[in-house]
Chain A
Amino acid sequence: MILQLLFNGLVSGLLLALLAVGFSLIFNTTRVFHISHGAFYVGGAYAFYAILQSFQSQSLLFIVLSAFVALLIVMLVASIIEILIYQPLARKKSGQGITLISSMGVYLFIINGIATFFGNETKSLQLSSGGSIFLSNLVIAPVQLLQLLVSLFFLVLVLFVSRARWFLGVRAMMSNESVASVLGVNTSLIRLLAISFGSALAAVAAIMTLYDTGIDPQGGMAITLSAVVAVIIGGSLSLRGTIFASLGIALLQTATAWFLSSQWKEGMTFVLLILVFFWRTEGIVSYKMRVEEQ
């Protein structure tokens, strides 16, 4: 039973880590507090769902292909948002408060657009094949296996890419954008790449969730907020810290759902966030307080 709880926590933690890593990439490069991450999460799942429903094909190749098309759609929309909204705001040197508000606007717009077209009901898909795997007293559902493998693949890919030589430019931009751009780093291209690939990571997690519990249009906010908490707790610039924090949060949420009720999950996550805030205030915000103000 404890083993099962740990395993469920691990799987949902890896999914959460996909979102959190995406959010972290976007936040650290663009300084946009990307609340609309949740909208791209839901949007990716619905794009995938719409493609599958309109062609009614069950072949594996087709499913993988339509997942890629859904990711491309998400990346395209994210790039449009970046070019039309975030970049003009960044050019005006707007603060984080105002970009956060614009991101909320984007969130409301996309979510309600999806709800207008698809309705407010929960959408879910069934995996066509495979039975559960039984390991002594651990039951692994086929969906969980899929989630485990796919999210591990993408997380390892991200960690691998973050070691690459060209990623140094991104790191330079994370620590100081203006100096990086003076030294010849193409900051606007990196912003665009970070936003589109970060959103695509969220969409991957969403497509996996679609096969499991399903997704409704309003469901993006809760998991995005959990991801934000993971980014803060994990330390802003460390991808590994973010992944470990996601696992911890997912474990806490699974345990809460197990022992209390699944409705307490979010509340527990945010109690944790407030505790971390008081315990360790440095982290995600780059703002340095003047000594007199502390």
Chain B
Amino acid sequence: MNYLLHILVMAEIYIILGLAMNLLAGYSGLLSLSQAAFYGIGAYATALLLVHTGYSFPIVLGVAVLINLIACIPVIVFSIRFRDLFFVLATLAWQVIIFTVLYNWVSVTNGPYGISGIPKPVIFGYPFESLPQFTLLAGALCALVLLFFYGLHNSPLSRYFQGVRDDQLVMLSFGKNPGYYKAIAISISAGVSAIAGALFASYYSYIDPTSFTLDESILILSIVLIGGLGTIRGSVAGALFYVLLPEVLRFANIPDAFAANLRMMIYALILILMVLYRPYGFFGNYRFE
């Protein structure tokens, strides 16, 4: 039972991350590689505030989102100044810089040793300590995020994002400033990633910088690419597929030493095959040219 709940929590975290990524890659056409940085900043902000200040979880979550909104300002500048490969490289650079800071700023982040003893969330005096309770909390947050993105998907704002993605010039001639909509999309995406980071930090009660590397960014991007860009069920399907794949391998009796690497090999192979033969992913309605 605990095993199933653990998978559920992981799936909920990755669904949130996938939705946040999809808003950038799928709706706004921004191939960002700094998603793990925002995930990491959210996790670190939550961990540090919970360990050192003892504020309750909702306040900490709010502060983490705010910190991420500040940390995404460079990405907004990149998205306005640079196009295509330049934007990808700039976000990649931002990801590496954030990781370097997390890894080396020992006095705050404790460097490579990470932060341990992160308390479980307490909301209005009610502790979410056991695994079923935590699953419920993560599920509730995930449902909220899903609802939010569902509303966004049907809102005019989403049309503007897609307009910016498809043709900036047309948007300009309609009197809409593309940079403004890119900024909104990036801020929402970074803020939502902070929620996933907060859940991750309080779930494991220990974090270190190696969870937030460039590889993780590539993984988050590939989740939405495999699931499908530009639809909500695409990111959900991609996240579920990513979380469930290792469990399938576990039943195939593959030794643990190989399992992690083998999982990534299979995953990479599927990514390549998708790019070659089905660029829309499982449920996408947009593909990169």
Contact = CB atoms under 8 A, between A and B. Distances in A.
B264 interface: yes
Contacts of A271: 93, 97
Interface in A264-294: 264, 266-267, 270-271, 273-274, 277-278, 281, 284-285, 287, 289-290, 292-293
A232 interface: yes
A193 interface: no
Contacts of A33: 85, 88
Interface stretch (B64-72, B76-84, B194-202, B234-242): B76-84
29 contacts: A95-B84, A97-B88, A98-B275, A98-B287, A100-B85, A101-B275, A101-B288, A105-B268, A105-B271, A105-B272, A105-B275, A108-B271, A109-B264, A109-B268, A225-B92, A263-B103, A263-B104, A271-B93, A273-B89, A274-B74, A274-B94, A277-B82, A277-B90, A278-B81, A281-B81, A284-B85, A285-B86, A290-B169, A293-B169
Contacts of B92: 225, 270
B93 A273 contact: yes
A265 to B, nearest CB: 8
Interface string A192-231: 0000000000000000000000000010010001001000
Interface stretch (A65-73, A110-118, A174-182): A110-118
B288 A112 contact: no
Contacts of B97: 267, 270-271, 274
A267 B258 CA distance: 31
A293 B288 contact: no
B214 interface: yes
Interface in B76-122: 81-86, 88-90, 92-94, 96-97, 99-101, 103-104
A215 B39 CA distance: 29
B123 interface: no
Interface string B204-218: 000000000011001
A253 interface: no
Nearest to B104: A263
B15 interface: no
A232 to B, nearest CB: 7
A96 interface: yes
A98 B265 contact: no
B268 A225 contact: no
A2 to B, nearest CB: 25
A101 B271 contact: yes
Given A33-B85, A266-B100, A109 B272 contact: yes
Interface of B: 31, 74, 81-86, 88-90, 92-94, 96-97, 99-101, 103-104, 168-169, 172, 214-215, 218, 221-222, 225, 258, 261-262, 264-265, 267-269, 271-272, 275-276, 279, 287-289
A106 interface: yes
B172 A292 contact: yes
A264 B74 CA distance: 20
A56 B36 CA distance: 43
Contact of A106 (B88, B261, B268): B268
A263 B225 contact: no
A83 interface: no
Contact of A274 (B84, B93, B289): B93
Contact of A95 (B82, B94, B288): B288
Contacts of A139: none
Contacts of B287: 98
Contacts of B172: 292-293
A183 to B, nearest CB: 27
Interface residues of A, number: 47
Contacts of A285: 83-86
Judged by DSSP, the binding face of B is helix
Contact of B269 (A104, A105, A111): A105
Contacts of A293: 83, 168-169, 172
Contact of B258 (A85, A98, A116, A274): A116
A102 interface: yes
Contact of A281 (B74, B86, B267): B86
Nearest to A108: B268
Given A100-B85, A285-B84, 5 more contacts: A100-B88, A108-B215, A112-B265, A113-B265, A115-B261
Nearest to B258: A116
Given A271-B97, A290-B169, A293-B168, A98 B268 contact: no
Contacts of A281: 81-82, 86
Contacts of A88: 276
A108 B104 contact: no
A112 B261 contact: yes
A42 to B, nearest CB: 13
Nearest to A113: B265
Contacts of A101: 31, 221-222, 225, 271, 275, 288
